[in-house]
Structure 1
Amino acid sequence: MWPMLASGAEVYLRSGYLYAPLLFDPEIEQEISTMTAAKTRELISGECLLSVDGGYFVKTIRLPSLVENYPAVFPEEYEKLRQHQLQGLLPVRPDYRPPLDAKLEVMLFEILPHFLRKRREIRCQKADWGTVLDLLAARIPSRNINPTLVKRLRLTEASLRKWLNRLEGLVNHPCLPPEGLQRGIALQQWFQAALQAHILTEEVNRWHSILKELQRLLALPQRLLAVLLTIAKRGALEVDGFGFTRLKDPREYLIYKRTGAYALKDYFGRLYLFPDCRVGVSTAGLIYPRVLGMYKHPLLRRYSSQQPICLTEYKAEGEFSAAAVIKALEEGINALFYGYNHRKRNGYNSLDKFALHHSMVDFDDLRIPKDHPSLVAGEVEVKNDFY
């Protein structure tokens, strides 16, 4: 098809369909000549075959479909052509990055409400954007909220609307060539113009989607929008022990949940007070829980930071989602709380020094008496006391 369009060969155009000349072939000519008149009329009436000036043209493909399917059939070539044409027509494009990326939206409005579900605001109402942002607005000091971010976003919205109007003015869909005999080279010119219009239309649609998302943010009450934009710009937040922070790659985050202080007992019933730690996952790579800071625990190999937690039956998720992150954080915390069996002394290390295997980590400095003030006051719970 492409060689035919790039040549001076004649093709026939009817109802948007290309009819290619039936190349001379003795067998085909013999088949047509021996075909009954009724059969020939049937093919011609069904527009599968055209008889023009004593020659035959066979129906092939809709001309517009060459443009519609080009991106899927030739993705690499299409992308190169798209970049080249946009650079030529639009040498300067808006340097705009949405303030709220997809992962941040999931963290704020799906993962965070799960870990705050014990709060009355989250438990008694649907955790919509307004509910979550109201809660955050009450927890973040007003001096840390930057209201000028809202003004900047409104100016950005006006600028993008002007840009989109200009872009829409560049779109010019060419009319189909007139029906009848056409030179392939003429159809090639139409194809190039139609493909350029297709590229610009895609760009228009992309910016319409961006503008729609921007206007969705601007529809929020100004106070709540200021909170959201401040969090998005900072890329970090912690509320009631749940938090996240942006990594060097601005598209990725470290998400964590604090354990709070807790106690474990060893084989002899002696107690050990473990300090608060952060169990976290990274959105860059497998979703697997690890302890972020310097920490020691029987289910960690050594006393160091960024250690994966020993989970024998846990399968790490390969893609980021709210469900994957929630599961990883809860599995990690539950393992630290309930995973060490003081009778079996399971794990990489054991709390006491009388285990069959050699422990690389010493826990004597964490040992506390049974009448420790935190235990008596009920501030700390012995997590593995059910074995």
Structure 2
Amino acid sequence: MFVFEAMDHSIQLRTMTNLKDMADGNMFSWGSRRKKHLESWELFGAFARGHYYDHRFESMFRSLTLILEPVPRHPFPIECDVIGQALDFFEHDENHLIHRVWVLGLIQKFQMYHPVIDVLSASSSEVQGTALSRVGLALYLTQKMDLFSPMVNSVSYSAAWIPNDLKEALKRVDLLYHIGTRSQETDQTPRSPIFMKVYDDLLQASCPLGDKKARSMAERCIEGIGMREDKTIEEEWMEEVLLHLYTFRKSAKKYIKESLSGRFGSSNKRVKEYFERIKTRGNRTLKRKQIQRYLSNEHLDPFIANLLTPFTYEVPVKLDHYRYILECFEAHNTIRYELFDDISHNWEMYSSDKRFVISVLYSESPYITGASRYLASRIKRGNYPMIHPYDA
């Protein structure tokens, strides 16, 4: 099985800095073509940073502007730092889609001009053998895609148009990564020949995913999934692969609907409910991980941490917690000018934290009686966009 291993990025970058030919003007030249590429990507980055605030993204963007100064000071160390930040950034779950596209494009361009950068390592291994490198797999799946033109051109229209094939590639990266990491965490080695074939096909299939390949994968998944309530972990994984195919490939979607309608007694409603359950299961798991990651920030205000922590528990919060959160925010807004000097972090950071908390309220509301109706009565939805890695 062909996999992409996660590598120690700090070791790679130390190796780069020790190269004797580091100062070779041919390898590390600041040519006009290279600068033009990075300046174009800086333009898209400026658009992306306004879409949703992220302190790690902000740090990378500021470093890129230093590199692009007319006479950059110490450009190579700064560039090494940006590359290291980009590689680490891409490995996390909670990053916004538009930020991930920008970071992936940045790594692609740096890789063009720095051939010594090796962010992926190929080897033969079983699913459980090693952690998958998200960025390595993403670079592999998107190597024939033009990330630059659609992104940079779309900024002119004040909207980031992200091609569906690119969304499918990044979603596939996460799906394969989560299967690998959950296999390690649960110490459950996949043994089913059907599942192993599905995994191999998903890993090695080109982007965009061909209709014939998508259908054959859907056939195997349906063959391997039992219809009982208690499913094995492999069956759950195949359900997630099936959802992926159902979401991104029209040819596979048609076949899946026809096949499952037969199982469900020709009921399209039950097919839809079936996929909603799979989607809900995955979204709740992902959202809890996002919240836990957010809480791990050592600079997070304790007030925000107190609001978020109950959402990391398996049991959903009560509607009273929703009321408490919104009342706190309203009270904070009322006296913000009096308390401004006492706020433990700047107002921009507080606003970003607040948006994240509101996004959590919306994502959890379907599982809490009365929550959706309560939010609709208290918040203008457009003021607080949902924060999710796959939002366009």
Question: How would you bin the TM-score normalised by the shorter chain?
Answer: under 0.3
Relative contact order, higher structure (CA 8 A, sep 6+): 2
* TM-score (ref. length: structure 2): 0.22
Higher helix share: 2
